[in-house]
Structures are given as structure tokens and as C-alpha cells.
Amino acid sequence: MKELLIDLYNKNSELINNGSPLFVKELREKALEVFKQNGLPNTKTENWRQSDIQSRLEHEFAFNFVNQSKSLDVVDIFTCDVYDLDTFSVTMLNGWFVYQNAPITQLPDGTIIGSLSKAMEVYPEIIEKYLGKAADINKTGVTALNTAFMQDGLFVHVPDNVEVEKPIQIINIVDLKENTFLQPRHLIVVGKNSKLTVVHCDHSLVHNISFSNTVAEIFLEENSKYEHYKVQNMGKNSSLLTNLFIKQKEGSSLVTNALTLNGAFTKNYVDVGINGKNCNSELYGLYLVDSAQHVDNQVFVDHAEAESTSNQLYKGILDDESRAVFSGKVMVRKDSQKTQAYQNNKNILLTDDAKVFTQPHLEIYADDVKCSHGATVGQLDPNAMFYLHSRGLCEKTARQLLMYAFASEVVNAISIPALKESIDNMVQKRLRGELSICDQCLLHCNDRESPVFDIDLNKI
Amino acid sequence: MAEAEENNKTLNELADKEYKYGFYTDIELDTAPKGLSEDIIRFISAKKNEPDFMLEFRLKAYRHWLTLKEPEWAHVNYQKIDYQDVIYYAAPKKQPKYESIDEVDPELLETFAKLGIPLDEQKVLAGVAVDAVIDSVSVKTTFQSTLAEKGIIFCSFSEAVQNHPELIKEYMGSVVPYTDNYFAALNSAVFTDGSFCYIPKGVRCPLELSTYFRINAANTGQFERTLIVAEEGSYVSYMEGCTAPIRDENQLHAAIVEIISHKDAEVKYSTVQNWWPGNKDGKGGVYNFVTKRGICKGENSKISWTQVETGSAVTWKYPSVVLMGDNSSGEFYSVAVTNNYQQADTGTKMIHLGKNTKSTIISKGISAGFSNNSYRGLVKTTKNAINARNFSQCDSLLLGDKCGAHTFPYIEVGNKSSIVEHEATTSKISEDQLFYCLQRGIDMGSAIGLIVNGYAKDVLSKLPMEFAVEAQKLLSISLEGSVG
């Protein structure tokens, strides 16, 4: 696969670099060199031992080096009508930005939202300042690969002192007849004292095999606030790698939340670099997987500066023969005194065939710190089950209720009420086994229908 | 400011403290030439007058070792070892079987006296049977007859090879095969001696068995091999402690410990490790690359590891338990202290295979100076390990802002009825506790010693009496005044 990808780049380098500024071309070629050396991670690579991407790549894939989605009317594909969720929505079709009205929109407050490939032409100075500065190509082979092939994705630039009211929703759709290999690249910059929320939905319309390797770079300037929600509800043939690289400056605050409800193979990597004092990072994750699904959450929080706080909470419920991996790492560098870092991973196994691998790691080089981590793997609490039975609840409802309560700790951390409600609803449905892959994403599941539980939750 | 200066002063004083057990006994050695080859292995085997199966085992291990690469995954940095620059065999020349203690080389006895090993008659009352190993060959074994009455075999490994080859053949390599890892393969090829312990069915060993290992000659790698077999319903508590004299070149220590615990048997293995850690600039010191593993073979069997690690420049050690029998249990209690430029990567593996198996891990890491201290552990429950239960707690204490404390747990759960819990905290000494001690008139050094001993108490209390005292002293020596 490695040789094939390198060959592919060499054959298509003109198409890939068409219209890009020189520095982007140089970055791509540098990344290709790194990729040539490092290749793709395999099961002997630390943090990839349990997540074998090589076997997911043993297919013929089609690559799209030209944007064919430009002119499409996104309404023809589908419309987003999330109840009460008022967002500025952008659509990515097969890895390319759908222009809708314009490739780049500038809001009255100065916020720029648009296609990354177009932004390379229009705002080369901004792109040059940030592109590739957070996503270290030496870190993982997939990041180098994405950097070599990056062409399009979302570009957002929020100027200083602007609070963007509406969340930006990225809808990433795969709709191709062939097996598809996608490498979207997003770049988000939040200026000083500014605020932004992004909701990122992954979504497949077809059941073909797809492999998506996304890299997003997010820069948080001083005292900015940023929230990133990732909702994954992909088909059973899709493999999804998402690499989120975040650089935080002094006083900035970050919330990420990865909600994995379906997807054959999902790996979410979150890399947070804390490069200023008084930063706050809250990282959440929820995974509800069954059948042969595989979900891997890898987190790296690098406390390079003192007096910051980070908190990780990842929870999951596993059914059937599913697999879940959590590998969290907190690094507290020398002199990063007064750091507080917490890490927690909790899992519930429902069957004997499901498997959990959890590795909460701490690496600490400063002494005046408070760091702790915890990991548990277990079952539903028999005492709680007994209590619910004694209150007249049947086995099934009691189980669902407890699982729902387990999951809601993460769901309740969502700060957008409409999104929280719709995710809450999805979780309930998912636990009842109703949220199938046809019933996808946020888009169709918020119809204000009859309550999901047999009992009225409000009365508890 | 004044306080900081005071702290620094105490710290410097401590760093300047000479290694207490640094002395060197000159005994004529019968050494093999430097280097490693099949010839050297044949030399060792011939020298020890071993049966053919041993030589075959060694050669197989050596050939396998040649195919392996030195592992690099541990969180340690050290100058790579030149395996051709090591002497693989050194034995004290005078080697008769002693009838009485007077016949033992007086220089050797002095060494023991300095170490405080209870070898003479008075020490009999201490209730400790000692199989003292100096540079790879057992010189003196006491309590043989007391133990023999009960049918317990406690002797050096080479004696066991001569007298009980069937037991060695059955159990050697059954827990740690020579294919296990790089250092295990090396040890299997060149090990010179060690201890062997066999407790027959239903016997409760009346004594705490103990061995003192000591590296004595320059440039001699110490390759020990310990094998403990506890038959059905038996019990044994085994202690191992080590100190090493000051040397400028790094010394390699690659030991193997294997424990087999049959049905209803219990083995308690305690270690106090105080090899020379190198000087305060990080020069010299012992490389301690040890493979220790026990297997709970039968139902209701139990293996318990307790270790106090204060020495060695580099430690790479994971005493593990394979819980094969139903209802078996494994325990791991550890205190690891690193100071100056010491590096420790230590922890455990608990592999749950049987039903209702239980394991407990309590690890306390203390780092000071420029040292790095890592806990690395694996808890694994397989699909058949129904109702397996694990609790792990790994705390780290940091003294000073130049050291590092790391925690790398790996948890793999493969069935729905297991409960696995892991928790860890990292912090420095509580200023409130320190302030309280100071205002009660306790000086800084003693206060830190007191708090650290309290912090490690969960583990120290698991040690046999004699060891607990020694361990507490060691902790205080290693740490007092290291600044909170």
C-alpha cells in the first residue's frame, strides 16, 4: 500500500499541486519524504497495536484529485433539518468542499468560512502562517500521508474579539459508486478573545467501502474559546481516521467531544498542545459499539506550559464482538508547574466476545502537579439493577436505563441544548438497538416522536 | 528563601553521602575469558559438570538469542552493552565443601559480616536460612538439615542440577522459556548459578528462606537463575536481597526467577534490591534486567511479589503472575525509589486465565534528583477468565523538579464478568504534612523520611519482619531531605 500511495502521488502530482502556492507544494513533498521513510502504522507501532489499518486498506480504492462536487446543489443530496439546531452548515462531498453559493463566505463580523483549496489562493498569507504548524508530519504515518495528499477541506478564520454565534456544522458525506479513499484537511483559526463551535458529522450515503483519513488543525489564540463535537455514524464498510491537532495559547479553553455511535473502524486521535498558561482543555468521548465494530480513541495532551488544566473522560459500552481501544497520554513537561491533569476511561462489557484495551498513560517531569488517572472495565452495577427491579422495572428497561445513565455523563457535557437533545435521543435509540445505519446522523432522528423508553424518564 | 537554601543543603548532603555498602573483597577468581560464544557456553557447562540436557538448553537459548534485538521500548536510556566485553564465568577458586564455618575464607566471612548476613550460630536464632551467593557460586548453605527433615530442598542451582536433574528438567524454562525475551535468552545461555527451592506436598516451610546475591568481581555479569516449586498445599516465604560494591564500569545483571505454585500452594517472594546505583553524576551503576514470573498452576494457588527497589542505575523488571488455576490469586506490592540519575522501568503483569482469579497491584514510585521512575503494567483477562477481578493502584511521588514519574498501564479485558479497576495519582509531598512535622520540631530530613515511609507503608507492611526493618532504613538513606 505504501508504494502504491507514493506512486499515486508521483503520477498525480501535477493534479494535486494544481493552483497551489509554492509553500503548500513544498510541504506536500516534505510530507511525502517523511511518509516514504515511516510508512503507514502497523500492528507493531505503539498505539496502533490493536487497530490494524493495513487490513482495512486491502481493497482497490478510487482517488479524486479534482473537485467534481463544486457545482452540485447540496439540497439534491440531502437537506439538513436538525430540529432547533441553527447552524452555519457546510458540506463536504467525497472529500471536496461543496461550493453551494460561493467557495468562500465572509460573515459581517469578519469571519471567513470556506474551502481550503480556494483559501490557499485567496489568503495565502494566513494559510502559510498556520498550515502544517500543528499537525506534526513526523508523529504518525497517516498525518504525513494526509499532508502529502491534502487538497481541500474546511477553512475557518475567526478574527480577534468575535464570538461566532451559530455553530459551524461540517457534514462529511461519502456518496460514490466506487470504493473511496478520502483525505480531507481542515484548518480552523480562532482569534484572540473569540469564540467558535464546530459540529462535525460523518456520514455515508452508500454502503461501499470507504477509507477516510482526516486531519484537522485548530489554532486557539489567547483567551479564545473553542468547542468541537464529532458525531460519527458511519456504515459498516467505512473506516474513519480522524486526527485533530490543537494548539492552545494562554488563557484559551477547549472542549472536544467524540461521539461514536456506529462505524466499522474508527480511530480518533486528539493531540492537544498547551502552549500557554491558564489554559483549560476538556476532552470527552462516548462510544456505543456492537457487532464487529472497532473504535479507538487516542489522546495526547502535552502540557508544555505551567498552570493549565486538562481533563479527559471517555466512556463506552460494548456489545457483541466489538472492540474498543483507549490510549490516553498526558505529558507534563519540565517546569510546567501547577498543572492539573485528569484522565478517566470507563467501559462496560455486555458480552464475553467484546474486548476492551485501555492504556491511560502519564509522563510527568514536574513536581508541583496534581495528576491522576483511572480506568475501569466492568458491568452494570448489580445493586443498582436490584434497586430498579424492586421498583418494578423489567430487566430490559432497567438495563437500558442504567446504560443510558452511564452514557449521559458524556452527553450532558454538550453545551448546545439542541445538539444535546438530539444526541440524547440518538443514544436512547442506540441503546434500544433502533439506531440502525439507515437511520443516519443527526438528520433524521430528531422528529419529536414518542419517548424511547417504556417509562417516562421525567418521573424518575 | 531560607527554607529553600536549607532544603538544598540537606539535598547536597544527601547526594554526597557515600554508598554505604561500597567495599570490594579480593578473592582469587577462576574466570572465563571475556566474550560470548558457543565455546564459552561449553566452558561454563563443562566447568559446572552439567548433564547433556543442560548444555543443549544453553546452546538452544544462545542460538535464539543471536536472532534477537535488544529491546528499546522501556522508558530508559543507557549506553548499549558490549556483550563481548563481559566475563561470563567467575568462581571463587577455593571451592571445597565446608564442614564448619571456620573453614570458610575469612575474607569472605568479613564481607558477610559487613553485610550483616546472619551466617553464624547466633544468627540461627534469627530463623533465617541463608544460601549466600558470591560471584555465581554458592559457598555456604545453612539449615540444610532442618529443611531436609521436612523434605524441603533448598540449595544452589548447580547442586540441584547434579542431585535433582529430573526436577530441573521438568520445571526449568516452563514459566520463562528461553524464547521469552532478549535478556531471558541471554540468561538461559550463560547462567552460572542461583537458587533452587522445592517444597513437597502439604509442607509449610518453617523458615523464611533467603539468599543474598552480591556482585563482587569487576566486569562480571551476574546471571542468576532461581526456581521455586511449591507442591500441592505447601507454603513458602522466600526473600532475596542484594547490595553491590562500588565499580566504575556498568555491571550487567540479567536474572531469571521462576515460580510454580500448584494446587492450594502459596509462595511469597520478597526482594530488597540495593545494587550500586552509580555515583551522583550518573556514572557507573548496575544494569538490572530481570525476568521474574510465577505461574499459579493449580486451583486456589497464590503467588505474592513484594519488592523494594532502591538501587541499580537502570532497572527493567516486571515480576508477573500467570493465573491459570481457578480461584488463584496474584499480588504485587512494590516500592521503587530512584535518586540522582537512576532510571527504573518496573511493574507487573497479571494474566488472568482461570475462573474467579484475583489480582492486586499496589505500586508506589518515588523519584528524586534527576531520576526517572516508570510503572509499566499489564492486566489481561481472557474470555474464559470468568469473574476475574483486578484492582491496581499506582501512586507516584515527586521530590524535586528535575525528576520524572510515569505511569504506563495496559489493560485488556475479554469477557463481560470481569471487573478491572486502575487508579493512579502523581503529586509531591503534601506541604501540610511537612509543615505539621516541622512545627512539631522534626527536622526536614527526618520529616521527609517519615512521610515517605508512611506513603510506602502499604507495601512495607507486606515484607517479612527482618526485611521490613532493612527496607525502612534503605528508604530513609535514599531519600531523606530530598526537598518537598
In chain B, which residues have their Cβ closer than 8 Å to the Cβ of A376? 419-422
A160-170 burial string, b = 16+ CB within 10 Å, else e? eebebeebbbb
Quote the minimal CA–CA distance from A269 to chain B in Å.
Answer: 18
Any idea which residue has 469473574 for its cell?
B387
Q: With CA atoms as reference, report the closest residue to B475 among B273, B290, B289, B331.
A: B273
Residue B92 pLDDT exceeds 60 = no
Q: Is A363 touching B (CB cutoff 8 A)? A: yes
CA distances from A336 to A278, A333, A368 (A): 11, 6, 8
B434 falls within a domain: no
CB within 8 Å: A371 and B408: no
Residue B137 pLDDT exceeds 90 = no
Question: To probe the interface with B, which of A343, A362, A369, A383 has the most B CB atoms within 10 Å?
Answer: A362
Once rounded to an integer, what is the mean pLDDT over residues B183-201? Answer: 90
CB within 8 Å: B398 and A376: no
In chain A, which residues have their Cβ closer than 8 Å to the Cβ of B398? 364, 366-367, 369
Amino acid at B409: P
- Within a 13 Å sphere around the CA of B222, how many CA atoms are in the beta-carbon half? 29
Residue B481 pLDDT exceeds 60 = no
Q: pLDDT tens digits for B41-77?
A: 888 888 888 899 999 999 999 999 999 998 888 888 8
Q: What is the pLDDT of residue A64?
A: 80
Q: What is the pLDDT of residue A3?
A: 86
CB within 8 Å: A367 and B399: yes
pLDDT band for position B107 (cuts 50, 70, 90): low
pLDDT band for position B365 (cuts 50, 70, 90): very high
Q: pLDDT tens digits for A256-281?
A: 999 988 888 999 999 999 999 999 99
CB within 8 Å: B404 and A363: yes
Q: pLDDT tens digits for A343-365?
A: 999 999 988 999 999 999 999 99
- Mean pLDDT score of chain A, rounded to an integer? 86
Q: Is A354 touching B (CB cutoff 8 A)? A: yes
CB within 8 Å: A362 and B401: no
Domain count, chain B: 1
Q: Is A34 touching B (CB cutoff 8 A)? A: no
pLDDT band for position A89 (cuts 50, 70, 90): confident
Exposed / middle / buried, residue B262 (Cβ in 10 Å: 0-12, 13-18, 19+):
buried
Q: In degrees, to the nearest 5, what angle opens at C-alpha B130 toward C-alphas B125 and B135?
A: 150
In chain A, which residues have their Cβ closer than 8 Å to the Cβ of B417? 352, 379
Nearest-angstrom CA–CA distance, B14 and B8: 10
B414 falls within a domain: yes
In chain B, which residues have their Cβ closer than 8 Å to the Cβ of A354? 416
B460 falls within a domain: no
Residue A206 pLDDT exceeds 70 = no
Once rounded to an integer, what is the mean pLDDT over residues A246-255? Answer: 96
Question: To probe the interface with A, which of B355, B406, B434, B479 has the most A CB atoms within 10 Å?
Answer: B406
pLDDT band for position A86 (cuts 50, 70, 90): confident
Residue B85 pLDDT exceeds 50 = yes
Q: Which of B401, B402, B416 is facing A349, going by the closest CB pair?
A: B416
CB within 8 Å: B426 and A364: yes
- Mean pLDDT score of chain B, rounded to an integer? 80
End-to-end CA, chain B: 14
What is the grid cell recorded at B398?
A: 515527586
Residue B293 pLDDT exceeds 90 = yes
Q: Which of B409, B418, B420 is facing A359, going by the closest CB pair?
A: B409
B-side interface with A, Cβ within 8 Å? 73, 75, 383, 396, 398-428
For chain A, percent helix, then strand, then coil, each to nearest 5? 25, 35, 40
As a whole number of Å, the CA-based R_g of chain B is: 22
Highest mean pLDDT among A215-219, A316-320, B23-27, B366-370 belongs to A215-219
Q: What is the pLDDT of residue B20?
A: 54
Q: pLDDT tens digits for A56-82?
A: 888 888 888 887 765 665 555 554 445
Report strand pairing: B286-296 vs B314-317.
Answer: parallel
B477 falls within a domain: no
Q: What is the pLDDT of residue A70?
A: 58
pLDDT band for position A446 (cuts 50, 70, 90): very low
Q: Which of A360, A366, A369 is facing B409, going by the closest CB pair?
A: A360
Once rounded to an integer, what is the mean pLDDT over residues A431-450? Answer: 49
- Phi, then psi, of B451 in degrees rounded to 5: -65, -40
B364 falls within a domain: yes
Question: To probe the interface with B, which of A344, A364, A372, A373 has the most B CB atoms within 10 Å?
Answer: A364
Q: Which of A351, A365, A375 is facing B416, going by the closest CB pair?
A: A351
Give the whole-number percent of chain A exceeding pLDDT 70: 90
Q: Is A349 touching B (CB cutoff 8 A)? A: yes
CB within 8 Å: B403 and A334: no
pLDDT band for position B95 (cuts 50, 70, 90): very low
In chain B, which residues have their Cβ closer than 8 Å to the Cβ of A377? 411, 413, 418-420
* Closest chain B residue by Cα to residue A49: B410
Count of C-beta atoms within a 10 Å radius of residue A108:
5
Q: pLDDT tens digits for A136-176?
A: 999 888 999 999 999 999 999 999 999 998 899 888 887 77
Q: pLDDT tens digits for B224-239?
A: 889 999 999 999 999 8
Amino acid at B360: T
Q: What is the pLDDT of residue B472?
A: 75
The yes/no answer to whether this complex scores an ipTM above 0.90 is no
CB within 8 Å: A359 and B428: no
CB within 8 Å: A352 and B415: yes
In chain B, which residues have their Cβ closer than 8 Å to the Cβ of A359? 408-411
Nearest-angstrom CA–CA distance, A131 and A111: 18
B479 falls within a domain: no
pLDDT band for position B15 (cuts 50, 70, 90): very low
Give the whole-number percent of chain A exceeding pLDDT 90: 50
In chain A, which residues have their Cβ closer than 8 Å to the Cβ of B414? 352, 355
Which domain, by its residues, includes B86? 20-429
> Which stretch of A109-113, B16-20, B76-80 has the lowest confidence by average pLDDT?
B16-20
Quote the minimal CA–CA distance from A347 to chain B in Å.
Answer: 10
Question: To probe the interface with A, which of B345, B363, B426 has the most A CB atoms within 10 Å?
Answer: B426
pLDDT band for position B214 (cuts 50, 70, 90): very low
Q: pLDDT tens digits for A104-118?
A: 889 899 999 999 999
B418 falls within a domain: yes
For residues A202 and B4, which has the higher predicted lDDT (pLDDT)? A202
Q: What is the pLDDT of residue B106?
A: 60
Q: What is the pLDDT of residue B62?
A: 93
CB within 8 Å: A352 and B423: no
Residue contacts between A and B (CB atoms, under 8 Å): 115
Q: What is the pLDDT of residue B73?
A: 85
B9 falls within a domain: no
Nearest-angstrom CA–CA distance, B163 and A282: 64
CB within 8 Å: B419 and A376: yes
CB within 8 Å: B411 and A357: yes
CB within 8 Å: B428 and A368: yes
Q: Is A385 touching B (CB cutoff 8 A)? A: no
Q: What is the pLDDT of residue B385?
A: 94
Nearest-angstrom CA–CA distance, B2 and B4: 5
Q: Which of A350, A373, A376 is facing B424, going by the closest CB pair?
A: A373
